[in-house]
Amino acid sequence: MTDTTPADASAPAPARVRVSGDQPYDVVIGRHLLGELPSLLGDGVRRVLVVHPAALAATADVVHEDLKASGYEAFVAEVPDAEEAKTAQVAAFLWGVLGQADFTRSDAIVTVGGGATTDLGGFVAATWLRGIRVVHVPTTLLAMVDAAVGGKTGINTAEGKNLVGSFHPPAGVLCDLASLESLGRWDFVAGLAEVVKTGFIADERILELVEEHAEALREWGVRETTPETWAVVAELVERSVAVKARVVGEDLKESGLREILNYGHTLGHAVELTERYQWRHGAAVSVGMVFAAELARLAGKLDDDVVERHRTILGTLGLPLTYRGDRWEQLLSAMRRDKKSRGDLLRFVVLDDVARPTRLEGPDPTLLAAAYAEISADAPVGRGPVAL
């Protein structure tokens, strides 16, 4: 987002998606959106802390200068990159910055970065004085369509990922599509896995758009992005955010409907754990979705062609479809220990059809093993989209 400038008259009007609930907020999607920040921050804010990793320093500077020009007392704090940021030590560093700058209940945080930065900054906002406002400026595709929307915040501990956190909806989210220009190819493709997930659980038009433009999408950053591809990316972000907004608007705290967003994640999380988090999240979710589709097919719920559609779409994007055949027992015990499973009962989100998600509770172990056999491969998958 280094070319972020306020109010560009030539840019198309931004799209706005409203997230309803106790504390409704807007997700604004477009280009050159800085002028939107004050209205998202809302009335009464005097001090703002801009939190960012080194990779987004230039963008954070632009945001910082703009906030100062708009009359705020603005501060910047650089945090470590990616998961290194999601620690109690980094949260304590930010609490220190807020304390020394006398941040009160009516002040705010602005996060500029990927999902790791929005999770950390959101968590610090949730905990400072029991909750101050936060506006997220997500700069990865994954953060735009997933991490920054929905109010889940958190940090990791030595025992696992996202074990400490809070539900703290932002005051607003600013998705400046220009920031995606500098995103690496496979980070972009991994983000597309969550977009495709959203298509399968709720919006078939997303799948059609990805099918029609898969070649251009998988070449992100390799070739120059055409205006047509940019328009597709804008529509994919809008549609994905709209689905997430609808789901979390109804179920902020994962008591029911929100579970559908975990499509592909039960096995996906187990793959991530087995790979000691050296796989991209989207790559693991891709394998997890093919597994969930096979499980649904074997349970008599899903037609063969929808299962094949998973393989075609994800495969064309360059995402992995298989995982090591010798790892089943390890994956199974990881799934049993997952914080989202209830007791010993494994739960999967599966599909009856495109956009018709349902749950499969405690499936027969032979069914699970048979579904895994359908996705297991001896050969290691290509490293491109997979490894961090």
Q: Which residues bind ligand NAD (CB under 6 A)?
A: 53, 55-56, 81-83, 86, 113-117, 119, 139-140, 142-143, 146-147, 150, 152, 162, 179, 182-183, 187, 281
CB 259, min distance to ligand NAD, A:
13
For ligand NAD, which is the closer residue by CB, 56 or 209?
56
For ligand NAD, which is the closer residue by CB, 178 or 360?
178
CB 253, min distance to ligand NAD, A:
12
Q: What's the distance, CA 5 to chain centroid?
A: 25
- Taking alpha carbons only, the member of 366, 350, 266, 360 closest to residue 302 is 350
Residue type, 35: G
Whether residue 172 contacts residue 40, with contact meaning beta carbons closer than 8 Å, is answered with yes
For ligand NAD, which is the closer residue by CB, 49 or 56?
56
CB 1, min distance to ligand NAD, A:
6
Contacts of 346 (CB under 8 A, 6+ apart): 266, 335, 336, 361, 362, 363, 368
CB 293, min distance to ligand NAD, A:
21
Whether residue 103 contacts residue 131, with contact meaning beta carbons closer than 8 Å, is answered with no
CB 55, min distance to ligand NAD, A:
4
Contacts of 358 (CB under 8 A, 6+ apart): 301, 349, 350, 351, 352
For ligand NAD, which is the closer residue by CB, 143 or 314?
143
Burial of 276 (0-12, 13-18, 19+ CB in 10 A): exposed
CB 269, min distance to ligand NAD, A:
10
For ligand NAD, which is the closer residue by CB, 177 or 292?
177
Q: How far apart are CA 324 and CA 372, in angstroms?
A: 10
For ligand NAD, which is the closer residue by CB, 189 or 368?
189
Structural tokens at position 15: 């799209």
Q: How far apart are CA 223 and CA 355, in angstroms?
A: 32
For ligand NAD, which is the closer residue by CB, 152 or 239?
152
The residue whose two tokens read 């094949």 is 308
CB 183, min distance to ligand NAD, A:
4
Cα separations in angstroms, 246 against 166, 265, 357 = 20, 20, 15
End-to-end CA distance of the chain: 22
Q: How far apart are CA 172 and CA 14, in angstroms?
A: 14
**Going by DSSP bridges, is the β-strand pair 25-30/15-19 parallel, antiparallel, or unpaired?**
antiparallel
For ligand NAD, which is the closer residue by CB, 24 or 325?
24
For ligand NAD, which is the closer residue by CB, 6 or 221?
221
CB 363, min distance to ligand NAD, A:
25
CB 22, min distance to ligand NAD, A:
18
